[in-house]
Amino acid sequence: MRKTKEPISRKTKKSKSYGGLCLTCRWTATCTFPRDPEKPVLQCEEFEGDDFKPETASKIVEKHIGEQGELISILEEIQAKYGYLPQSALQLVAEKTGRSLVDIYGVATFYSSFSLKPRGRHLCSVCMGTACHVRGAPQVTEEFERQLKINREDTTPDKEFTLTTVNCLGACALGPTVVVDGHYFPNVNTTKVSDIIKKTQDGLDKIELHTDARVFPINVSCPRCNHSMMDATYLIDGYPSIRATMSFENNHGWIRLSSLYGSFKIESEYKIPMGAVVNFFCPHCHAELLGSSNCPECGTKMVPMIVRNGGMMQICSRRGCTGHRLDLNGVNL
Amino acid sequence: MINMKINGLPVSVEEGTTLLEAAKFLGFPIPTLCFMEGLLPYGACRLCVVEIGDGPKAKLVSSCTYLAEQGLNVRTASSRVVKARKMIIELLLATCPQSKVIQDLASAQGVHQQRFRQEHDDCILCGLCVRMCEQQMMAKAIGFQGRGEKRSLGTPFNIKSEVCRLCGGCIYVCPACQLRCTYNQVENAVCNGCANLTPPCLEKEKFDDMMCYMEPCVACEIKNDKK
Ligand code: SF4
Ligand code: FES
Ligand code: FES
């Protein structure tokens, strides 16, 4: 029999790795609260705790009611808020939307992105698709189970890790693949497992989303034709800009946006008056970039773009509005 | 009126008639499982397959959900249909061998054996109970949950539903003939009635104060005898 490894201690690194941010909050790793390592924050204004609050959920429901596909949007937002769908939340949604609980429960259990059980701070998905399976994914899963001391689809008692298995992540050539909080780990074998767990505890996002001011360049492409929208010949903020075609009123011309996440600099052929809503088009396939969601700040339609390494960025189409949403495969910034 | 042919016989039916109804009108038997009068057709079991179209374009469709079309040429018992039907029965037998309804269907179609790994599930996901609950009982207490392999049937969160009136309709229509209630825990029960041969109330006192739609049944008599 194999010697059991020491369980990995999860306590030690914590205070260091979260750079002075609330240790209680599940979004620490991606928090926008100004960081000051000298003065640790205990709770920011956003922090609500993991407890379900009917008022918050009602607000979410009211925001989406009447929309096309309202149910999914509502459930998604509740899931994002609490990390899972609390039973009382589903009951509230049923009441408010006038749908039956059975239907809502059916939808919630159908999609694997919804969870009815609380999830941990880090979501670790091991691919068990065919390609990964034959290359040893089952052993990797077992190793994770052993080291985290939980079964698959379970969460550690300290609410740090949730272990799930998925069927194909579309990265079969890299298999066995493991995704932790949107970060892909290729060619995983049993010896790499402890490494992955450790890296996750040290804060994955710190490594890649490097600066604290949260300004980092992103690389986007058209959601329709997937051609890159980056323009290396035209720099804004010292980085290649995002090129698109825009039109508003009777003007039709190019627009270039800063690719720095956190910078809202734009340059365009025609001057866009503040408050004007601009239509964006892909410079390659000329499809209109029109998202399904509305700006969280002003309610205007958002413009979607695909982020190169997986994920989605949406920006508000109203000039002057800084509403945006960046979703790097589950990490919602 | 729509004119079409079933097994070579011309028939004209009203628009909106399903192939199953048209065939029934002419007297051609088509075995069904998930179809029930009074409930909307659902097309889950595929047992009612018939062949339509000609030559290379011929295809199998479920007659309970397919609406009659002008000039359609329907075969209800071609060799392809019979083969498909037998296969479906074999698969049903592999899932739910204990069901009387499925056994009857099998023997009527001359299937005496199945060649797949034998399982003993208590549900074939025909959706009869869900439709019964929703469309006849107006309750919507039970429904499908999960997906794929994990698709199953039950109340939300698998706890006793507030809208369930314990009517027993789901058990009445279930071809797999298994209790839809998880009868060993009184708080999980969808319905406390039992069409099974092991009534829970015999061993569990907690069931005494629950409404039973079968009263008095064998269990009551056994209980009385014991007293
Ligand atoms: S419980 Fe019975 S009626 Fe309901 S779906 Fe399953 S087999 Fe059909
Ligand atoms: S099988 Fe694992 S990524 Fe496709
Ligand atoms: S009776 Fe038509 S599909 Fe079941």
Q: What is the phi-psi region of residue A128: left when phi exceeds 0, alpha when psi lies from -120 to 50, beta otherwise? A: alpha
Domain-embedded: residue B55: no
Q: Considering only residues A288 and A263, tell me which one the structure prediction assigns the higher pLDDT.
A: A288
Q: Is residue B201 part of a domain?
A: yes
For range A34-62, the mean pLDDT: 66
CA quadruple A193, A197, A198, A204: dihedral sign:
positive
Domain membership of residue B76 (yes or no) is no
What's the CATH number where B140 sits? 3.30.70.20
B110 in any annotated domain: no
* Interval A35-45: pLDDT, tens: 555 555 555 55
> For residue A109, which residues of chain B lie inside 8 Å, CB to CB?
145-147
- Rounded Cα distance between A84 and A162, Å, is 12
Same domain, B167 and B203: no
| pLDDT attached to residue A56 | 82
Q: How many domains does chain B have?
A: 2
Q: Domain of residue B222: give its range.
A: 197-227
- The pLDDT-based confidence of A79 (bands split at 50, 70, 90) is confident
- A13-33 confidence digits (pLDDT tens): 333 344 555 555 555 555 555
Q: Do B134 and B169 fall into the same domain?
A: yes
Give nearest CA residue, ligand 1 atom 1.
B123
* pLDDT at site A41: 53
pLDDT in tens, B4-58: 999 999 999 999 999 999 999 999 999 999 999 999 999 999 999 999 998 899 9
For residues A65-71, give the mean pLDDT: 85
Average pLDDT rounded to a whole number, residues B176-195: 47
Task: Answer whether residue B14 is part of any domain.
Answer: no
CA distance A115 to chain B (A): 11
Distance A129 CA to ligand 2 centre (A): 5
B216 touching chain A per CB within 8 A: no
Residues of A in contact with B140 (CB under 8 A): 100-103
Q: Which ligand is nearest to the CA of A170?
A: 2
Closest CA to A74 of A83, A82, A86, A62: A62
Q: A-chain residues within 8 Å CB-CB of B164?
A: none
Q: Which of residues 70-129 of A touch B (CB under 8 A)?
A: 87, 90, 100-106, 109-111, 116
Q: What is the mean pLDDT of residues A280-297?
A: 82
Q: Which residue of B has its CA nearest to A88?
A: B157
Pocket of ligand 2 (CB under 6 A): A 127, 129-132, 168-172, 175, 177
Interface test with B, best of A90, A109, A111, A152 (most B CBs within 10 A): A109
Q: Both tokens of residue A208? A: 């890649």
Does B48 fall in a domain?
no
In which band, very low, low, confident or very high, does the pLDDT at A174 lie, cut at 50, 70 and 90? confident
Q: Are residues B135 and B168 in the same domain?
A: yes
Which whole-number Å values give the CA distances from A215 to A78, A212, A297, B182, in the listed order? 28, 8, 20, 55
What share of chain B has pLDDT > 90, as a percent? 53
Q: Is residue B9 part of a domain?
A: no
Confidence of residue B59 (pLDDT cuts 50, 70, 90): very high
ipTM of the complex: 0.73
pLDDT digits (tens, 9 = 90+) for B135-173: 999 989 999 999 888 898 888 888 878 888 877 788 778
**Minimum-distance CB partner of B143 among A102, A111, A116:** A102
Query: Using the beta-carbon criterion (under 8 Å), do B156 and A110 form an inter-chain contact?
Result: no
Question: Is B42 inside any structural domain?
Answer: no
Task: Identify which has the larger pLDDT, A217 or B110.
Answer: B110
